Structure 1
Amino acid sequence: MEVDTAFLRSKRGIVKVAEMVTLFVAFVCFAVGSMPRYIAATVLEFVIISLLLLLYLFKLNKKLTFFFWPLIDVFNSIFAAVYFIVLSVIAVSTYNVTGTLAGGIVCFLSVGLLCVDSYTVFKNITFNKPRIENHNQVKE
């Protein structure tokens, strides 16, 4: 199985790894604060992002072509960003343990990374438009 190490060094790969790090830190903070509903949300999104990262890392997106993976990635990032905005606002406004406050703040960082991820992926999606390899070509 071929490993695409260039993906980890790309902007998208770095953003995916940063999302995983912030979600793990938020998970630890919520675990310290004993907030099971927040723990479940962060672990679930951590697993989804890990699977997407492995999909791109092992180039499985090119072998499993029955899904349009970039669009799935965009939808996941958008829905997760909206969900984590709500979760963060609730965690920050109703905290009673410092771990919950820290987890809410770290989730805000995750929201920013998820928004950057969804924007960069969506910007690169072409919907039935031919890709122009050379921008200096004259249209015929």
Structure 2
Amino acid sequence: MSENENKIATMEVDTAFLKSKRGIVKVTEMVALFVVFVCFAVGSSPKYIAATALEFLIISLLLLLYFLKLNKRLTFFFWPLVDVFNSVFAAVYLTVLSLMALTSYTATGVLVGGIVCFMSAGLLCVDSFTLFRNITFNKPRNENQNQVNE
């Protein structure tokens, strides 16, 4: 019984994820969205602050999910596909948000926030593309990798 308690009590940490390409992209997205949040807060435009804060929170939760290997324990969702959908919708939404901020800026902070927001939308596009390429839909992993290499 003590073995089961020890397995439940321990939490695995995947430090290799932070060093991988996906981990670096996720951390870069978080940093860019935090910069956007600070720029919009300095420019005092609350309509842009909420969207960037929400996306920062979602990306940090997904990063925490992968970092603590909770995606292996919580199997009721297909987490890579959830991550792809989040990245695609966030990229579209942040592109629209950045265009709105760039066309109607009143302070320099909003202008800089719009530019960095547009760059973070580009990062989200890269993230969704790389994730979508790695997802296998009912194919064995080695079969999919052989098709990519050919």
Alignment TM-score, normalising by the size of structure 2: 0.88
Offset from partner CA, 1:107-137 (integer Å, 9 cap, x none): 01101110010011100000001111785xx
Q: How far, CA to CA, are the matches of 1:38 and 1:24 in structure 2?
A: 12
Q: How far, CA to CA, are the matches of 1:95 and 1:17 in structure 2?
A: 27
Q: How far, CA to CA, are the matches of 1:92 and 1:132 in structure 2?
A: 46
Alignment TM-score, normalising by the size of structure 1: 0.94
Q: Residue 25 of structure 1 corresponds to which residue in structure 2?
A: 35
- Which of 109, 115, 123 is the aligned partner of 1:105? 115
Equivalent residues, number = 135
- Which of 76, 87, 92 is the aligned partner of 1:77? 87
Give structure 1 regions of 4+ aligned residues with deviation exceeding 2 angstroms. Answer: none
Q: CA deviation at 1:45?
A: 0.2
Q: Residue 53 of structure 1 corresponds to which residue in structure 2?
A: 63
Identity %: 76
Q: Which moved more, 1:125-134 or 1:48-57?
A: 125-134
| 1:64 and 2:74 correspond | yes
- Which of 41, 47, 52 is the aligned partner of 1:42? 52
Corresponding letter in the other structure for 2:97: L
Q: How far, CA to CA, are the matches of 2:33 and 2:47 in structure 1?
A: 14
Structure number with the higher helix fraction is 2
Corresponding letter in the other structure for 2:30: M
- The correspondence of residues 81-96 of structure 1 with structure 2, limited to 5 A, is 81-96=91-106
SS in 1 for 2:12: coil
**Larger RCO (CA within 8 A; separation ≥ 6):** 1
Q: Which runs of 5+ in 1 are unaligned?
A: 136-140
Corresponding letter in the other structure for 1:108: F
